[in-house]
Structure 1
């Protein structure tokens, strides 16, 4: 088909601008785009379809904008594997039409905001003259995401003005730089609100095969030489211009295929380029040598707390300095010789926690009240390591020092007194033995009587949910990915992770710790992880699954992922039983009825037919052998593995396990006091 320009019109201006934008995003490192269909976003949809058909990017279409947002979040997070590093992800774009479609992105935007994930929000809008007139599906998109975005621009509808495409691409470049945190090391979501005038479809022959230069020329005024204008960006109808691999910003540069601009993070092209458009080179701040703070008191009595996204530096620090490591599952720092098991209970042992003088916090700890109480103690000095320009985590407002990074000497092995560490590790081993006994098939609810009876079904087994988490963790290899839902599953995983071998890569939406979007996030992670040869599983509760069951909806034309979703179904919300609400429920029959309605929220949903409606395989397992068999099966498409467990005794079991751990730990440190230092 000829690349000859169509006659100038509003349609060709919109289509040309959309194609130029898509080509620029591809050139700047965007490889995945999620599209929620709509009429006002049609120019972008056509341009994306053309680019996808040419193999220049991967397009994912979803009918639910909330699911689309979390799918994009998962795709972006999956590009940063295996490291849990702030700012390591590749940006992913998500496209919506106008109106409520935009608002439905907000939950994913907030999660991306609090976890530093680069999302590019491309929302289509009516032109300015139609806003505030009562036009259909029109509301005020400007500022809709508030302070949750790093950059926002309201882009006027293209009308063929000289230089308008150049302006659009420059704005897109600023947005991508902000999304990646190139200036302030604070990556996150950005918003481009793109106005388009009708008609919104191509006016010429069928779209595929039209070269961008011809299509975009309609948005340039008569007489413009498009080979030297911004509209001449290599683009959607042909292979992008090959750039010098030695220049920063080349997406084809070897060494770091999942990072725009190569390992230095400079995502913007050197200009002027071969397409005639001058791109700014945004140079990230050079990393400094790191801080070297003096420690208060006895430096040996230090704990390392690794919250969500801490990365491997937390583990390296603990092992180099000989400090106990308290790592949340999604910290990226789990495992190793200094990891402390069941630390939430061990922090309740005064003989251990009372000796702590200093805590180094990396990442954002959100999982545990005992950890927050530790960080709030006036007798404990808290050092927070918080890279980038984001607010540092200090919910207790008790941090003594906040540093961007620690000096490299802190990661050099340092011989020192090990008595404090040995006490914590002895208590950790005692706690691990208790958890192992509790999750053994046939364990007694009294914990101390392990393997007291033959293996029973999960729906009658004490500590069943904990046993499920242990089986899933054991089946997840060190190079595999496990996406874990909020509420009880992530806390169960916290107790069992590492009991049966080196932990896998664990991801969780801990930015706001909500249950929404977990299925869609897991699907996005699975798509990205598969490109690295990694298998992905997800572990979540029944309410988390039902809240985002629409994430299972994938059309037959869309990229498929191998994803196993393990759903722990206790017919409601068990975590509330372990909080103060559970104590009130246990006090009276009336309290129990009230609890069940407003917190327990039983649903009675049969997940099998529900999955069948989405065309997703479903397997119901009743005991640990059946679960292990399901987990060992080869990955094949999307599968839901349902495990039904009781909810009624969750509070009793939690108390019994905590008490058993504390009792075992109080004996273990005394035995370890005579351990030789090394």
Structure 2
């Protein structure tokens, strides 16, 4: 057995012992020992292997798998630019606290800087984006070598999980492999001295971390709102009388105010100063809404922050973009909160009035987002694109507590979205759904390319196709003053035939008219067999800004009405 083959088999074996259940791999020569070891482990039912030809898509497939399963997922690539193509996925995993393991095959150190083919200095390539960068020594046939390899794998998996550091995220495991890379021996053979522990346990067992953060004192009964952003842990409970503004990817979204951002705008601009909270409790990373950012910057509001527990969300510490946090701690039990019941009722009454008059146009992207959320079956996994779709869901859909929502909001890029959704759906195992914009879908159209022998989820991707990027229409660059430049450099129309693109990849495609709820419900009905389906819905881009302005004006008018006793939100 070649030393490189032995090292690869030991690494894969220790991954399995350490709880790895899914591995993504890309073809290559230098990573051949790992590929052969993974193929054997897949055939034996020890792991599930997913092969992709594009490293960028492979990276986001692994991120999606890890985001849903919360288990470390290695992505195995060959040397050179193959490793560099994982950088976007590594950044997303880093800022979202996702346990990704980059297993990069490498050339031996003596070849770096010599002009050898496909050789770069890739050890430490990801800098501070990874929690650790471990380089295995070149494989040698001696008993202590295998112990070192196994111990290193255990350390890598621990750093990815954040068990001892409360800091989960990506880790690079760089494996310089010397030729010969393959041999003709049995694929699952190892000498006795290279085998792991006889009981199948990891080489190094790591005890679970128990977070210990003192609870905040929230006993004062002042007007309080909870702001729940991406990556927030599900709290044990909140008092019933405390309003919540939650982003869709927060576990608190199901009890969120429907018009929370509009209420904040009116409170902050003085239209309804009685709606301004005296205290904002922040959990997770609020990233979607400018009124929330303004609230957290307002000196009239006390900002208290709940830090990440290290199991989901951002790196340890606390969210404080505006440098306004006055206290940091854990949430107290619901009974220990001071609740201003009258203020909470006033907020919910205003929220109910606004929600009744600010529905989106049926033919708009926001109308589609609301219809998709309304139509999904209870318990569904729903992956939402990071640009317009997640905002449309937040502003237009009725919150539902019976959905699991995921979105790549670590750095909020649109890259890798098809692969991320595929990975999440594979890890979930049930029929899953995604809502993506057309540019996001096209950016990762390579994610549709799946080999005939690869595992497939039952995934329905709804594409809101407005032939360009409509999110910019509601920002400063969408103002009439920039109309001459907008379409080319922000709108970026593409004219791509999505049906033809899907046909080329062997992916089922159908078109549904915007506003046709019956056809949408039929298209979203579970198909009962694995595979990706694309449902394309044409929506109007040119009216997005006007529709947003109309809803904003309607909200202001409704908020200005006198309070009606008992007029509270039901959704």
TM-score for the superposition, normalised by structure 1: 0.79
Q: 1:432: which partner in 2?
A: 355
- For the 8 Å contact 1:300–1:418, the answer to whether it is kept is no
Tell me the residue number matched to 2:85.
104
Spell out, residue by residue over 1:582-612, the C-alpha distance to the aligned partner (whole angstroms, 9 max, x if none). Answer: 11xx23xxx3231111100000001000011
Q: In structure 2, which of residues 515, 521, 524 is the aligned counterpart of residue 628 of structure 1?
A: 521
Q: Which stretch of the first structure deviates more once superposed, 383-392 or 29-38?
A: 383-392
- 1:124-166 CA distances to partner (integer Å, 9 max, x unpaired)? 0001111111111111112211111111112222132441121
CA contact (8 A) 2:358 2:554 kept: no
CA 1:673–1:415 in structure 2 vs 1: closer, same or farther (change >3 Å)? farther
**Stretches of structure 2 lacking an aligned partner (at least 5 in a row):** none
The answer for the alignment partner of 1:149 in structure 2 is 130
Note closer, same or farther for the CA distance 1:593–1:168 as it changes in structure 2 (3 Å cut). same
Match of 1:287 in 2: 211
2:419 match: 520
Corresponding residue number in structure 2 for 1:29: 19
The change in CA–CA distance for 1:539 and 1:50 in structure 2 (over 3 A counts) is same
SS in 2 for 1:329: coil
Deviation at 1:311?
Answer: 3.2
Superposition deviation, residue 672 in structure 1 = 4.1
Shift of 1:282: 2.5
Matched, 1:309 2:231: yes
Inter-partner Cα distance in structure 1 for 2:88 and 2:273: 40
Listed as ranges, the matches of 1:36-75 within 5 Å are 36-75=26-65
* Secondary structure, aligned partner of 1:168: helix
How big is the shift at 1:472?
Answer: 0.8
SS at match of 2:265: coil
Please list, as runs of the form range in 1=range in 2, the aligned pairs for 1:419-458 lying within 5 A after superposition.
419-436=342-359, 438-439=360-361
In structure 1, how many angstroms separate the alpha carbons of the residues matched to 2:114 and 2:317?
40
**2:244 is the alignment partner of 1:325:** yes
Q: Which residue of 1 aligns with 2:483?
A: 592
User: SS at the partner of 1:641?
Assistant: strand
| Alignment equivalent of 1:233, drawn from 182, 188, 196 | 196
CA 1:352–1:617: 2 relative to 1, 3 Å:
farther
Structure-2 separation of matches of 1:173 and 1:611: 41
What is the aligned partner in structure 2 of residue 335 from structure 1?
Answer: 254
Q: Give a deviation string over 1:383-425, Cα, whole Å, max 9, x none.
A: 110123624211111111122x223xx3338684411111111
In the aligned structure 2, how far is the partner of 1:402 from the partner of 1:415? 17
Larger radius of gyration: 1
Contact 1:78 1:528 in 2 (8 A): yes
573 and 197 in structure 1: CA distance in 2 versus 1, 3 angstrom threshold: same
CA positional deviation for 1:286: 3.0
CA contact (8 A) 2:228 2:246 kept: yes
The number of residues matched between the two structures is 556
Q: Which runs of 5+ in 1 are unaligned?
A: 1-5, 7-11, 80-88, 218-225, 235-240, 244-249, 251-268, 270-278, 442-460
Please name the residue that 2:441 is paired with: 545
Matched, 1:212 2:189: yes
Q: Secondary structure at the match of 1:313?
A: coil
Q: Which residue of 2 aligns with 1:346?
A: 263
Distance 1:477 1:504 in 2: 8
User: Within the alignment, does 1:166 sit opposite 2:147 as a pair?
Assistant: yes
| Pairing 1:608-647 to 2, within 5 Å after superposition | 608-623=499-514, 624=516, 625-636=518-529, 637-647=531-541
CA distance 1:141–1:666, change in 2 (3 Å): same
Q: Kindly provide the CA deviation profile for residues 438-488 of structure 1, in whole angstroms up to 9, marking residues without a partner as x.
A: 44x5xxxxxxxxxxxxxxxxxxx4xx2112111110122331111000111
Aligned to 2:118: 137
Cα distance in structure 1, aligned partners of 2:276 and 2:499: 52
CA drift of 1:281 comes to 3.3
**Alpha-carbon shift at residue 199 of structure 1 (Å):** 1.6
2:327 matched residue in structure 1 = 401
Deviation for aligned residue 1:431: 2.0
Which residue does the alignment assign to 1:256? Answer: none
Q: Is the 8 A contact 1:14 1:43 kept in 2?
A: yes
Deviation for aligned residue 1:352:
5.2
8 Å CA contact 2:275–2:347 kept in 1: the answer is no
Report the Cα distance in structure 2 between the residues aligned to 1:318 and 1:38, rounded to whole angstroms.
Answer: 55
Task: Give the TM-score, by structure 2 length.
Answer: 0.93
1:293, distance to aligned residue in structure 2 (A):
2.5
Aligned to 1:369: 290
Equivalences for 1:236-255 in 2 at 5 Å?
Answer: 242=199
Greater mean deviation of Cα atoms: 26-35 or 382-391: 382-391
**Partners of 1:414 and 1:393 in 2: CA distance:** 22
Shift of 1:168: 1.0
1:184 aligned to 165, 170, 183, which one? 165
Instruction: Give CA deviations for 1:498-521 in whole Å, capped at 9, x if unaligned.
Output: 36x545111101111111111100
Deviation at 1:65, TM superposition (A): 0.5
What is the Cα-based RMSD across aligned positions, in Å? 2.0
Query: Per the alignment, in what secondary structure is the counterpart of residue 560 of structure 2?
Result: helix
Q: Residues of 2 paired with 1:626 and 1:658: CA distance?
A: 30
